[in-house]
Amino acid sequence: MDAESELMLRLAEGDESALGRLYERLGSNVYTLALHMLGNREDAEEVLQDSFVNLYRSARRFDPALGSVRAYTYTIARNQARMRLRSRRSRPATQPLEEREPVAVAADGATAMALDGALARLELDELKLLEATFFDGFSNSELAERTGLPLGTLKSRIRRALLKLRGLLGEP
Amino acid sequence: MSRPGELLTDYAHGALSAAETVRLEEHLSSCASCRGEVRDVREGFVELVEGLPRVQIPTGVWVKVLSRIRGQRVRAGRRLAWGLAASLVLMAASGFWGFQALENAAQADLESQTVARWLSREDVSRVSLGIYPSGGYGSVLLLPNGRTLFVLSDSPARGNSYQAWGRRGDEIVSLGVFNRPVFETTTTGYEAIGVSLEPRGGSPEPTHTLGRAELPGP
């Protein structure tokens, strides 16, 4: 079991110090994600709070067979941010999807450089689709409507883009 | 209902309704292939998030998270901590008298914070008011500028008030009437101070003295 899964196990038993350790490890990524989605520091800070409160309350539901602790945590944060986007009844992406800039990537460290390289090898449409899917708070149905793609096709493209990204990252 | 495979991406995003989530999780418990697909989507998301330009986390958020998960326990714990801190400081500085008064006072958050704030000052001194006939205790905290905090063990009985007094020669002056265990006033120029129990609203002169103390000279 990896260190973060062990922390999650302790958290599920109510160990607040485990939440503190997870906050140290993942807090800035959660904040970065929220800020990227919402574009507002105050809202992002609230999402950061909400996410870790939610993580504490839902730790028992974590299933390592369905993804890592990071994946679980970022998914919670994404949904918290998504709810805020919906409550605003507006989206940061007022531009049509095809005019949006794709995911910006930090060239910081070996992992980020590898990701930078992998993203650079994705098609622009794939990048924009991933951005819209993961960061803009659209449901698949909404995205299908905006892009004009059939829902099944859209889901396949998202999945293909993700698998391609993971494949590229796995290359030596 | 949609086929499970069609819902995996939405599930991975946490975008399904509660009912759909339950149904899909039943399926996932017995389908390694679909679990793998959910895992792929989620781990792909991790790669994207961790590729974003990292932003410095704001300070102070962790304390807010802790406060929220502890809820009432934090507030109760803080009151207890204030009370304990106040009591320990007082015990260390002045002995046992006054401990009970401060501990009880600490149960009221605002009052305990006031007491703790006073006790945190380096220039505070403490004088015991002695033992009441009722068995309670009282203390007075003094600052060099004459500001004075009466700290009693509990609130006055229903229908009564406390009244603080100052003595200057033969003159006894009312320093204020109060209905809580903690009361702040000024005692500059007085040789001694005391506290009495009076009918609600106070009296022109003390009728039932609870405790008194000589003040340090100038």
Residue in chain B nearest A75 by alpha carbon = B13
A79: which chain B residues are within 8 Å (Cβ-Cβ)? 13-15
Residue from A32, A69, A163, A169 whose CB has the most chain B CBs within 10 Å, to mutate: A32
For A50-89, give one letter per residue: b (16+ CB within 10 A) or e: bbbbbbbeebeebebebbbbbbbbbbbbbbbbbebbeeee
Classify B152 as helix, strand or coil. strand
What's the token pair of residue B171?
A: 């003159």
pLDDT at A98: 45
B54: which chain A residues are within 8 Å (Cβ-Cβ)? 28-29, 32, 106, 108
CA dihedral B75, A56, B57, B81 (to 10 degrees): 20
pLDDT at B175: 93
How far is the alpha carbon of A28 from chain B, nearest alpha carbon, in Å?
5
- Cβ pair B45:A78 closer than 8 A: yes
3-state helix, strand, coil in chain A (%, to 5): 75, 0, 25
Residue pair B181/B153 in contact by the 8 Å Cβ criterion: yes
How far is the alpha carbon of A94 from chain B, nearest alpha carbon, in Å?
21
pLDDT at B83: 54
| Residues B156, A29: Cα–Cα separation, whole Å | 55
Question: pTM for the complete prediction?
Answer: 0.53
- Cβ pair A115:B51 closer than 8 A: yes
Which stretches of chain B drop beneath a pLDDT of 50? 72-77, 80, 84, 88, 91-106, 133-135
The ipTM, to two decimals, is 0.73
Q: How far is CA A49 from CA A20, A52, A92, B65, in A?
A: 12, 6, 21, 5
Measured between CB atoms, does A28 come within 8 Å of chain B? Answer: yes
Residue in chain A nearest B68 by alpha carbon = A53
Place of tokens 């796995």: A170
| Residues B210, B64: Cα–Cα separation, whole Å | 44
pLDDT at B105: 42
What's the token pair of residue A85?
A: 């986007």
Q: Write out chain A's pLDDT in tens, 172 residues.
A: 789 999 999 998 888 889 999 999 999 999 999 998 888 899 999 999 999 999 998 898 888 888 999 999 999 999 899 888 877 654 454 444 444 444 444 434 455 556 666 666 777 777 778 877 777 777 777 888 888 888 888 888 888 887 777 777 665 4
- B-proximal residues of A, 119-138, CB under 8 Å: 119, 130, 133-135
- With residue B83 as reference, give the H or E element that holds it: helix B72-94
Measured between CB atoms, does A107 come within 8 Å of chain B? Answer: no
- Cβ pair B37:A104 closer than 8 A: no
